[in-house]
Structure 1
Amino acid sequence: MTNAEPLGRSGAAETTYEIGFKRQIAIAATSFWGSPVRNRILLVATALLTIILLTAYGQILLNQWNVPFYNSLERRDLPEFIVQLKNFAFIASFLLLLNVVQTWLNQTAALYMREGLSRDIVDQWLTDRRAYRLSLSSPLGVNPDQRLHEDARKLSEMTTSLTIGLVQATILLVSFIGVLWQLSSGFVFHVGDTSFSIPGYMVWGAIFYASIASLASNLVGFRLTRINAERYAREADLRFSLMRTNENLEAIALARGEENQRQRIHSKIDDVVALIRQLAMALTNLTWVTAGFGWLALVVPTLIASPAYFAGTMSFGELMMSAAAFNQVHSALRWYVNNFDSIADWKATLLRVMSFRAALVDMDDFHPEGSEVLLERGTAEQLAFRSMTICAKPNGNSCAHAFRLREPDPVINFGERVMINGDQGVNRKLLFDALAGLWPWGGGSIDLPEQEILFVPQLDYLPEGPLRDALLFPAAASAFSDEEIAAALTRVGLHELTKSLDEHARWDRRLEKDEQMLLAFANLLLRRPQWIVFNDVLEGLEPETVERLSSIMSELQEATLIYIGRSGAFYDTMSPRLLHLEALPQTPPAL
């Protein structure tokens, strides 16, 4: 098991980290309220509400226009027909202008939502080692790029679209339900010798029709949310496999492993295809409901209003006005039916993004089961180990393999040179991670010095972009002058790179391993930290590079150097104090 693997969990556990819908909404609301784009979104939302209200008013005018227009047709009144066409042109132009403005506001709202959500998720992800802790403790942190990018995009766009649609449907419902009630309030039904009236019977007809459609949609499409969530999880697995393959093409080619890796990727594709097949079947079944009720909606309004028309209490224009008002009320009521699949998709995306955000926040209070290595920031200029043990293979409350320092509670004072090696099979990197606060599994405590510690891994991270950024990471590009940068590069033997400081490239691929380590030491020379912990950085380098780096280490007189590894060059150059990691005896399993 490597350090990057989730401990004690399987890949299938990704979908088990679920939070209730109410908590999802609460997390989203908290995120929105703390977002720097909140005021911009609220301003756009106010403008959108105004436009929607004006659109509803325009649609009421258009609905009222039906009566004189269709009555003029019934009377064959050409002058009145032309007048009504002019009125229609005015109303249609007004609605067209509102539609264009609303489209622009819709896109602007979606843009601000995307900006706010994406920045919030990234900020929560890259905060105080949360991302690394999550990658160790949960499958959610292994391939988060799908949630950070695609899911965040979908959630922001769908939230905007569905919210605007719901508000617009609600306003239309409130606007037209009164119109429809008034139109159908005076009709009297005659059945034999009995006469009776149903106040607003067309309103009740629309509510009944939409309720049946909503109930049928729920019954048929209840599985969509789960299927969509599963699909996005498997899509993320496929994307991660493709990314890993692309990052390791050379190793795959050298091992002649294309066939094996192709089969692995095909298995991921099979998982995605299987879920898409389930989704296609579920959507097909849902279409029987949505399309069926949609086609019936063409004639249902006229059928419901026809008794009044044939009884002579309603003109042809009033019939068309009633049918149009019924369609508005019905379309508002069946908004849920028409958007059932979109709502299911939105709920699945909301679950993935908010559960990811909640898991990240929970990392602030993350503690492994059983004991843990406590890091305490001291006030003295020393680093002290207090009964520290490192668990290399945690398994719940037990530990399958652990190690400790042979020397009892050693203390490293400022300015010392210390080398920590270990028994065969002891994973020394875990001590490096424990010192950095990345590996809490174990026991005891470590008292850290008050000064900042700089940790240098075997392979440093080089961000994409100009070489200047890669060299100075994580410091700002403006922190050092070009002269200081050139001097540091020259000292480590990379003087030729001074001409490429502003060149954009994938420096982790362009530079050889030795050059990347030399670049890391140039960073050290610029930042001049007082405490430096190396993780076997001289291992596997060319002799000339090892000699140069050892020489640079000897010049760092104002820093404490702790080298975790077995480097003869470091030992010969620095004459360090030696500490030793030893494996603890394994407790035999109970019979």
Structure 2
Amino acid sequence: MKADVASPTAPEAVPQPAEAIPKLPQAADPLLPIMPGATARPPLADALIKAAPVQDFNLARDLGVFARVRAEGGRRVVAIFAASTVITIANMFGQVQLNDWNGRFFDAVGRKDLSGFLHDLWTFVIIVVILLALTVANTFLQERLKFRLREWITRHLLAEWLKPLRVYQLGFAGEYGHNPDQRIQEDTRLLGDYTADLGCGIVYSLLQLIAFVGMLWTLSAQVTFQVAGYEIAIPGYMVWCALAYALTGSALTWIVGRPLIALNGQRYAREAEFRFALVRVNESGESIALHGGETDERRHLEAALTAVVDTMRRISSSLAHLTWITSGIGWLSLVVPILVAAPAYFGGSLTLGGLIMVAGAFTQVQLALRWFVDNFSRLADWRAAVHRVARFREALDNLPAIEAGAEEIKHALHPEGHLAFEAVRILLPDGHIVIDDATVHITPGERVLIVGDTGRGKSTLFRAVAGLWPWGSGTILTPPLESMAFLPQRPYLPLGTLRNALSYPSPVDAFPEANVRQALGRCHLGDLVPKLDTIERWDNELSLGEQERLAFARLLLHKPAWVFLDEATAALDEDSQHRVMALFDDELKQTTVLSIGHRPDLAVYHTRTLQLVHGRDGDRLKLKPPPAPPPPRRWLQRLDDWLLTIRP
């Protein structure tokens, strides 16, 4: 059993990576006020904006990450996409029939052929009903493709993210390891939506191009020009015009809109930071109110908001520039097909129906070719989402490479089930020595207290035992992992019922009801028995002392062979501490205990004390037992006794 692994947000937390803590500039950039009452953009906002990493957008590499995904639901996604493609092919056939109908209908109008007019109207109804049914079916499949794609990717990311130790170690993976909640929730949603929309859209456009380019090439033979009395026909004239028109628009769109790709990536990052700051304030409302820190928190939130607003301002400028191209091309497309075919119509080689057919086919072809222009802003959004999710997935894969090139603490099972540190050196990621040459052997049944100055690496030592902290050297021999339990400075209570929090990480039905009630009563939490199946935010409902006692009740249920306590009784009074520590004399008397603590009264519950002592360099620490107390000076006692006998 392994529970309550130490959190990096505890008081003895490891320092954040340098890239996660932006350096504040000396002065604010003199811009117009953004927030009410502000006179300049906050320096912290400048730091957040400047901290945005230079992102390497390599589409082939990013898509290659998803090609390697093996998760439940992949075949279902492929099946839905294939069905949508089949319906799109049928839709294209209907569109071709509709374009042919256009020519016949307007020719009948031009000839004033009433019977032909009525017949074509009936044909129109049949074509439209079929196209409507195909469109509804395609919309249904496309919407299902969106959430199935999201489900497929999200399940895969959850499975990879929640592999042992990864949640903790991801905090050291740099920019792409930050805000995993947004990568898994928001970015995958955007990725699923945009991939379905754009994927189906490009398939539709390709089929549209295939269906109409041949028709347009054939109809181009009807477009002839009269030059000096000669009739000239250019093979595929309308096709070349459509191609030139679409390529010109696409080239201009790429040139003007390319910055949107990186800007959208920055926007997602800034949005994630702003949301994290809001959640943090909401979770820490009591502490903020007690310190009267609302003004300071508002300053930080406004700085984060300003970073979002600044990024969105740049996006809005780029979108405005892009709209000149996309909207201009869109409006011109209403008249361009008529203009390029007009010479043949006015020259008499095209009828009105022929002109409508040529213009319709031209419009369909240039719409297919212009798909890139019409969807560039969404492509930029999709590209940013692909990049962020792919880099997050790579960050999960590359976690072992964080310490590449550096020494790593080795772990192995102790042949006799003991715990041993063999010349263990613990370092920070930057190479700074935290603990030097820790060599000690702990046997089952011992109760060992580790003491030392605050911030000197005691909690980091426990993280190294749990396998969370790889930086350093030496070897740690441990008992089986499932026999160890870790209680950090602040207990972890998962979402759900109180019973779930008590049995975590085992299933809620893993323990008999009588044992659950007895464990709560033994830790003086009997009043919580009626609430066992109530869903609450128990980390907010219970006091810190109650949470610590609940963690000990959890130990009573799991009965681990080894328990590591990291200031696990810091919020308890002396009586409560005595009650929970007495568990190791009764129900858990076979359990080996290693404790970290500063309270002097903890020593009476342990059989041995180890102390972290400063080394010669001032920043190196060694794990060693404290000096033995001097032997009692019995000769002085004897002298006192003798003096008492001779005193009159």
TM-score scaled by length of structure 1: 0.94
Asked whether 1:158 is paired with 2:194, we answer yes
Asked whether 1:178 is paired with 2:209, we answer no
Partner of 1:30: 68
Letter of the 1:66 partner, please give it. Answer: N
* Helix, strand or coil at the partner of 2:476: strand
- List aligned pairs for 1:507-586, cutoff 5 A: 507-555=538-586, 556-574=588-606, 576-586=607-617
Q: Is residue 453–residue 531 contact of structure 1 (8 Å, CA) maintained in 2?
A: yes
In structure 1, the gaps of 5 or more residues are none
Deviation at 1:137, TM superposition (A): 4.1
Q: Is residue 206–residue 329 contact of structure 1 (8 Å, CA) maintained in 2?
A: yes
Q: Is residue 261–residue 380 contact of structure 2 (8 Å, CA) maintained in 1?
A: yes
The change in CA–CA distance for 1:585 and 1:491 in structure 2 (over 3 A counts) is same
Q: Is residue 130–residue 364 contact of structure 1 (8 Å, CA) maintained in 2?
A: no
Aligned match for 1:483, one of 514, 525, 535: 514
Letter of the 2:494 partner, please give it. Answer: P
Q: Is residue 428–residue 565 contact of structure 1 (8 Å, CA) maintained in 2?
A: no
Asked which structure has the greater RCO (Cα within 8 Å, sep 6+), the reply is 2
Deviation at 1:441, TM superposition (A): 2.3
- List aligned pairs for 1:325-336, cutoff 5 A: 325-336=361-372
Partner Cα separation in structure 1 for residue 259 and residue 447 of structure 2 = 62
The change in CA–CA distance for 1:137 and 1:216 in structure 2 (over 3 A counts) is closer
The change in CA–CA distance for 1:19 and 1:180 in structure 2 (over 3 A counts) is closer
Deviation at 1:19, TM superposition (A): 6.3
Deviation at 1:449, TM superposition (A): 1.7
* Helix, strand or coil at the partner of 1:477: coil
Deviation at 1:548, TM superposition (A): 0.8
Deviations 1:474-523 (A, max 9, x none): 11112112122111111111112221111000000111111111111111
Asked whether 1:292 is paired with 2:328, we answer yes
Partner of 2:144: 108
The change in CA–CA distance for 1:39 and 1:376 in structure 2 (over 3 A counts) is same
Partner Cα separation in structure 2 for residue 45 and residue 83 of structure 1 = 37
Deviation at 1:257, TM superposition (A): 1.1
Letter of the 2:477 partner, please give it. Answer: D
Partner of 1:429: 459
Partner Cα separation in structure 1 for residue 142 and residue 479 of structure 2 = 54
Q: Which moved more, 1:36-45 or 1:220-229?
A: 36-45
Partner Cα separation in structure 1 for residue 234 and residue 617 of structure 2 = 83
Q: Percent identity?
A: 37
* Helix, strand or coil at the partner of 1:131: helix
Deviations 1:255-287 (A, max 9, x none): 111111111111111111111111011001101
In structure 2, the gaps of 5 or more residues are 1-10, 23-50, 620-648
Deviations 1:404-430 (A, max 9, x none): 46xx62111112111111246523111
* Helix, strand or coil at the partner of 2:612: strand
Partner of 2:380: 344
Partner of 2:155: 119
Partner Cα separation in structure 1 for residue 150 and residue 415 of structure 2 = 44
Deviations 1:77-112 (A, max 9, x none): 222212111111111111111111111111111111
Q: Is residue 5–residue 142 contact of structure 1 (8 Å, CA) maintained in 2?
A: no
Partner of 2:495: 464
Partner of 1:371: 407
Q: Is residue 380–residue 450 contact of structure 1 (8 Å, CA) maintained in 2?
A: no
Letter of the 2:537 partner, please give it. Answer: R
Partner of 2:434: 402
Deviation at 1:554, TM superposition (A): 2.0
Letter of the 1:105 partner, please give it. Answer: L
Deviation at 1:587, TM superposition (A): 7.8
Partner Cα separation in structure 1 for residue 178 and residue 361 of structure 2 = 53
Partner Cα separation in structure 2 for residue 460 and residue 424 of structure 1 = 20
Deviation at 1:448, TM superposition (A): 1.1
Partner of 2:279: 243
Q: Is residue 548–residue 571 contact of structure 2 (8 Å, CA) maintained in 1?
A: no
* Helix, strand or coil at the partner of 2:403: coil
Partner Cα separation in structure 1 for residue 189 and residue 212 of structure 2 = 35
Partner Cα separation in structure 1 for residue 246 and residue 454 of structure 2 = 72
Deviations 1:530-566 (A, max 9, x none): 1111112122312221111111122212221111223
Partner of 2:20: 10
Say how many residue pairs are matched. 579
Deviation at 1:121, TM superposition (A): 1.5
- List aligned pairs for 1:28-427, cutoff 5 A: 28-31=66-69, 34-192=70-228, 195-367=231-403, 370-391=406-427, 393-395=428-430, 398-399=431-432, 401-404=433-436, 409-423=439-453, 425-427=455-457
Deviation at 1:435, TM superposition (A): 1.0
Partner Cα separation in structure 2 for residue 258 and residue 20 of structure 1 = 43
Partner Cα separation in structure 2 for residue 387 and residue 544 of structure 1 = 39
Deviations 1:186-225 (A, max 9, x none): 5443322665432111011100000000000011111000
Letter of the 1:20 partner, please give it. Answer: N
Partner Cα separation in structure 2 for residue 173 and residue 14 of structure 1 = 40
The change in CA–CA distance for 1:19 and 1:445 in structure 2 (over 3 A counts) is farther
Partner Cα separation in structure 2 for residue 136 and residue 432 of structure 1 = 18
Runs of 4+ with deviation above 4 angstroms: 11-14, 16-19
Q: Is residue 263–residue 314 contact of structure 2 (8 Å, CA) maintained in 1?
A: yes
Partner Cα separation in structure 2 for residue 214 and residue 178 of structure 1 = 22
* Helix, strand or coil at the partner of 1:9: helix
Q: Is residue 403–residue 583 contact of structure 1 (8 Å, CA) maintained in 2?
A: no
* Helix, strand or coil at the partner of 1:478: coil
Deviation at 1:374, TM superposition (A): 2.0
* Helix, strand or coil at the partner of 1:390: strand
Deviation at 1:181, TM superposition (A): 0.5
Deviations 1:133-168 (A, max 9, x none): 121342433422221211111011101110000000
Partner Cα separation in structure 2 for residue 554 and residue 330 of structure 1 = 83
Partner Cα separation in structure 2 for residue 277 and residue 166 of structure 1 = 30
Deviation at 1:18, TM superposition (A): 4.4
Letter of the 2:602 partner, please give it. Answer: F
Q: Is residue 176–residue 325 contact of structure 1 (8 Å, CA) maintained in 2?
A: yes
Q: Which moved more, 1:529-538 or 1:3-12?
A: 3-12
Q: Is residue 68–residue 317 contact of structure 1 (8 Å, CA) maintained in 2?
A: yes
Partner Cα separation in structure 1 for residue 239 and residue 67 of structure 2 = 35
Partner Cα separation in structure 1 for residue 457 and residue 68 of structure 2 = 42
Partner Cα separation in structure 2 for residue 549 and residue 194 of structure 1 = 106
The change in CA–CA distance for 1:541 and 1:139 in structure 2 (over 3 A counts) is farther
Partner Cα separation in structure 2 for residue 425 and residue 3 of structure 1 = 9
Q: Which moved more, 1:307-316 or 1:187-196?
A: 187-196
* Helix, strand or coil at the partner of 2:426: strand
Q: Is residue 6–residue 139 contact of structure 1 (8 Å, CA) maintained in 2?
A: no
Q: Which moved more, 1:549-558 or 1:137-146?
A: 137-146
Letter of the 1:260 partner, please give it. Answer: D
